[in-house]
Amino acid sequence: MGTILIYIIGLTIIEIYLFISIGSEIGAFTTILLIFLTAITGVYYARYEGLKTLKSGFVQLSKNKPPSYEILSGAGIAFAALLLIIPGFLTDLMGFLLIFPFTRKMMFKKFSKKFKNESNLKKDYIEGDFEDIEDDNDRKI
């Protein structure tokens, strides 16, 4: 919980610094206009990518294959749209990197390697036999 709070505070400080720096270079009105433009563009592109991912998921289902990448990709697109709606230049950059399919695949590969470790590969199960015992209550029909 503490690390998430530190990340949120750090992100806010970086966003305020970027607002001040970019706003002093291009002007306050242009900065505000740029933030709204990136939010609107990002949301429309997120909608396009989301519909494309949904269609791809249905294609996978019609082939009797699990749409696991499409589910993960849809969650990534939804998070990217949230990042694009939040005002700020750093969140917009992270949102656009996550919304484009090429960079999204690269990020997923990086994080999937992080979670694939040897503890996930070892077999955590116990083999055994069982016997089904009929109960008197099962015979009453």
Tell me if 103 is assigned to some domain. yes
Q: Is residue 129 part of a domain?
A: no
In a domain, 59, yes or no: yes
From the CA atom positions of the chain, what is the Rg in Å?
24
In this predicted model, what pLDDT tens digit does every residue of 3-39 receive, in sequence order? 889 998 999 999 999 999 999 999 989 999 999 999 8
- In 27-100, alpha helices (H): 28-62, 68-85, 89-99
Q: What is the pTM of this model?
A: 0.71
Residue 23: phi, psi to the nearest 5? -65, -35
* 122 within domain boundaries: no
Which domain range does residue 65 map to?
A: 2-114
Number of domains in the chain: 1
Give the residue from 59, 51, 108, 102 showing the smallest Cα distance to 81.
51
Which string of b and e fits 122-140 if b means at least 16 CB within 10 Å? eeeeeeeeeeeeeeeeeee
